Amino acid sequence: MDDRPINLYEYEALAKERMPKPEWDFVEGGATDEITISRTRQAFDSIMLRPRMLVDVDVRDLSTTVLGERIDFPLMMCPAGHHIRAHPDAELATVRAASAMDVGMILSSGSSVVMEEVASAATCKLWYQQYFYRDRGVTELMAHRADESGYSALCITLDASIRSKRERNLRNDYMLPASPNYDGLEVSPGGFAPSSDDAPPAFSGMVSPKATWDEFDWLASKTDLPLIAKGVMTGEDGRLAVENGVKAIIVSNHGGRSLDPTFATIEVLPEVVEAVDGKAEVYLDGGIRRGSDILKALALGARAVLIGRPMFWGLAVNGEEGLKHIIEILRDEFESTMGLCGKPDIASIDRSVIGTVSPLVSLPQFPS
Ligand SMILES: Cc1cc2nc3c(=O)[nH]c(=O)nc-3n(C[C@H](O)[C@H](O)[C@H](O)COP(=O)(O)O)c2cc1C
């Protein structure tokens, strides 16, 4: 008998038992009152679906493309630091799971395994996440290393240049390890050495709070990799991203780990999609826990979604196999939700499948 968990919440509960409390709190927690985190599930759960009958859904095609690259279904792995906190194989387990399931992965610049080694283990779509550093030389160097080692896009995280207050980490006196990606780099005093909390002063000091949208133009002059903006939460910024040559946008609030309180990403997705007006691909992360969440995000204009914390749950419970199973569960749930809604393929998922929503999610009128 298969005694594995049957959904992501069961994985979450098991992972909590297995991970040391400070690591668990680091992964699970958010900033200040964690209002953003609880609002995220409320928002998803407030959206009801409108199923259509007698559509031929015998064959369901879940595949799609992100920046022109095919993935088996619209899911990617979020950039998230230090997978070793969940499993000794760390990002190597993650990249093997993503490759086996043919979904995308964005490696965090805070990975436990050096970026070149992760790239050489990948057969999946693999992108690299970094920041606009105060030292443009570091920004450029990391972009070149990503390009040379085979990453096919560069994701710039915009919402982590200011240190947020994560009280669980403060209580645990949590020490963030250094990433080997920064080994040997000549950086300012303190550099990327281990330090307390998630966005330690030394690290925050390296990420530029001075950067403005034209930094994308500058970076585009230094690399041929397509640039992705992660952390967009408003239509205004969606428009600016497009104007500054960004090829894709991740609607993200860093899983409620940066600004708190702010909106759930699913609430602001329609606003960003409208502002971007098809000129860039739009993805969403934050609170994806069910296949139906994927369908909701796609119906509201996302091309794909990403998962963050669930990666750690899968890894903590059973390494590569655990994460593969997490992805499989999401794929199966997504596939059956598509079928039950009368949607045989990705192109058929549109806003008409979105029904009742709570006042949390305000949407333009549904088609009559
Ligand atoms: C433990 C952990 C570490 C993270 N590290 C990074 C990071 O290094 N870079 C980044 O852009 N986002 C990071 N994030 C944010 C995720 O990319 C993502 O926005 C968020 O986790 C999505 O929400 P979810 O966890 O509810 O799926 C991290 C998230 C977690 C949980």
pLDDT score for 176: 86
**How many structural domains are present in the chain?**
1
Q: Provide Rg for the chain, Cα atoms.
A: 19
| Residue 62 falls inside a structural domain | yes
Index of the ligand 1 atom closest to the CA of residue 286: 23
| Residue 363 falls inside a structural domain | no
The set of protein residues with a Cβ atom below 6 angstroms from ligand 1 is: 26-27, 78-81, 108, 110, 129, 157, 230, 252, 254-255, 257, 285-288, 307-309
Cα–Cα distance list, 349 to 4, 50, 281 (Å): 31, 11, 16
| Residue 362 falls inside a structural domain | no
pLDDT score for 274: 98
Provide the terminal-to-terminal Cα distance of the chain, rounded to the nearest Å: 47
Element spanning 156, H or E: strand 154-157
| Residue 1 falls inside a structural domain | no
CATH of the domain at 64: 3.20.20.70
| Residue 152 falls inside a structural domain | yes
| Residue 8 falls inside a structural domain | no
From ligand 1's centre to the CA of 51, what distance in Å? 32
pLDDT tens-digit profile of 268-317? 999 999 999 999 999 999 999 999 999 999 999 999 999 999 999 999 99
pLDDT tens-digit profile of 84-143? 999 999 999 999 999 999 999 999 999 999 999 999 999 999 999 999 999 999 999 999
Residue nearest to atom 14 of ligand 1 (CA): 80
Cα–Cα distance for residue pair 247/50, rounded to 1 Å: 32
| Residue 6 falls inside a structural domain | no
CB 260 within 8 A of CB 34: yes
Cα–Cα distance for residue pair 354/230, rounded to 1 Å: 25
pLDDT tens series, the chain, 368 aa: 689 999 999 999 999 999 999 999 999 999 999 999 999 999 999 999 999 999 999 999 999 999 999 999 999 999 999 999 999 999 999 999 999 999 999 999 999 999 999 999 999 999 999 999 999 999 999 999 999 999 999 999 999 999 999 999 999 999 988 899 999 886 654 455 445 445 544 465 799 999 999 999 999 999 999 999 999 999 999 999 999 999 999 999 999 999 999 999 999 999 999 999 999 999 999 999 999 999 999 999 999 999 999 999 999 999 999 999 999 999 999 999 999 999 999 999 999 999 966 666 665 444 44
109, 111, 179, 254, best to mutate for ligand 1 pocket (most atoms within 8 Å of CB): 254
Residue 235 — left, alpha, or beta (φ > 0 → left; ψ -120 to 50 → alpha)? alpha
pLDDT score for 360: 64
